Amino acid sequence: MTAEPTQALEPYVAGMTWGWTGVRGTWATAEASESLREMADHGVNWTAIAYSALQETAQSTEVRFREEPTVTDDEIVWAIREARALGLKVCLKPVVNVADGTWRAHIGFFDRDVPGEPTWGEWFASYREFILHAAGIAEAEGCEMLCIGCEMVRADAREAEWRELVAAVRTVYSGVVTYNCDKYQEDRLGWWDAVDVVTSSGYYPIDRWDAELDRIERAVAATGKPFFFMEAGCPSREGSPDRPNDWSLPGAPSGDEQLRYYEAMFAACDGRPWVRGFMLWDWPPRLYAAETAAGNDDYCPYGKPAGEFLREAYRRRAGQARMPQLP
């Protein structure tokens, strides 16, 4: 269905994550359609269509992906088709979240099964059903890429289960398969060879980009796989460039701070040709009014200085910039 992984990422992943958290009723609307159009106008050539399914606690073993608030299959198909109609390549990104607010990185169980206690096997059986369901949609709709997990730090060590999951996905889905590891985990995964593309969440402090890229480069080179940042970005908020992963960090809205981070991040990665681009975080299905952007302190760059920077940066890097006419 798709090109080889390296070819699929050419010439550059000028991407944005859309739709998070995938709340039922917020997709497949005129408002959501306009949000996608505005996103595409920022030089974007890829989008990660991201949605979540909930489990009750970090030790629950049922991923309830057919229930509210998760978007319906019809809404997912709608979003894929809308994005493709805008000329975008699509990575479908189903993600598990914990209903009590615990970060998914802490989902975990005993290393060895104990009678009467929840187990990794029980959890992976439910998670596998969730991911294979998404894989079927991705195949039917021709999505270029499928992301099978996001920032599952405690689960990352369960190599056998992940390998079994990837093998099962490949019986359903014929496109490019990736996994989105968390920041600082690129050199810790032992099963990168099972997927086609290495991706991670690049929420690194503004003064740490070069050092972290040195570390990531060694890890990526060892895999022999292509790489891009499946997530990266910074809230438009004072203090956020130093802690871009902290979406709750107190601070006044600041478009200039977000722009400063974008400029530093792009400059650092421009010197690393093995970084094939970004799927920036993030663009909501319900977009705030442009005239209120200065007061918005979230990750979305719409209507902010970083948005104008991004439009030109992406078009230039992806070869979409308008070329001067020859005399």
Tell me if 239 sits within 8 A of 258, measured CB to CB.
no
- For the chain, the maximum distance between any two Cα atoms, rounded to a whole number of angstroms, is 79
Vertex 228 angle, CA 142 and 303, to 5°: 85
Burial string for 93-103 (b: 16+ CB within 10 Å, else e) reads bbbbbbeeeee
200 Cβ contact partners less than 8 Å away, ≥ 6 residues apart? 180, 181, 182, 183, 185, 186, 216, 227, 229, 230, 231
**Where residue 321 falls among pLDDT bands split at 50, 70, 90?**
very low
**Where residue 2 falls among pLDDT bands split at 50, 70, 90?**
low
Tell me if 323 sits within 8 A of 48, measured CB to CB.
no
**How many residues make up the chain in this entry?**
327
**Which segments of 24-175 are extended strands (E)?**
46-55, 89-98, 145-150
pLDDT at 325: 34
pLDDT one-digit tens code per residue, 115-139: 999 999 999 999 999 999 999 999 9
143 Cβ contact partners less than 8 Å away, ≥ 6 residues apart? 80, 90, 91, 92, 137, 175
| pLDDT (average), residues 283-297 | 98
User: Would you state the structure tokens that stand for residue 3, as one six-digit string?
Assistant: 């090109």
pLDDT one-digit tens code per residue, 17-71: 999 999 999 999 999 999 999 999 999 999 999 999 999 999 999 999 999 999 9
pLDDT at 298: 98
| pLDDT (average), residues 146-173 | 98
Rounded percentage of the chain residues whose pLDDT exceeds 90: 94
Tell me which DSSP letter residue 212 carries. H
Nearest to 150 by CA among 91, 109, 206: 91
Domains and CATH numbers, the chain: 5-317 (3.20.20.80)
pLDDT at 324: 36
By CB atoms closer than 10 A (0-12, 13-18, 19+), residue 149 is buried
Tell me if 240 sits within 8 A of 251, measured CB to CB.
yes
Phi and psi dihedrals of 58, rounded to 5?
-70, -15
- Kindly give the residue spans of alpha helices, DSSP state H, lying in 238-281: 255-270
pLDDT at 186: 98
pLDDT at 10: 81
Looking at every residue in the chain, the average pLDDT score rounds to 96
pLDDT at 7: 83
Tell me if 214 sits within 8 A of 274, measured CB to CB.
no
What is the pTM (predicted TM-score) of this model?
Answer: 0.96
The rounded distance, in Å, linking the Cα atoms of 137 and 147 is 13
pLDDT at 261: 98
User: Would you state the structure tokens that stand for residue 276, as one six-digit string?
Assistant: 């094939």
pLDDT at 194 over 80: yes
Rounded percentage of the chain residues whose pLDDT exceeds 70: 97
Tell me if 290 sits within 8 A of 296, measured CB to CB.
no
More confident residue, 52 or 319: 52
The counts of H helices and E strands in the chain are 8, 8
Phi and psi dihedrals of 211, rounded to 5?
-65, -40
Helix (H, G, I), strand (E, B) or coil at 213: helix
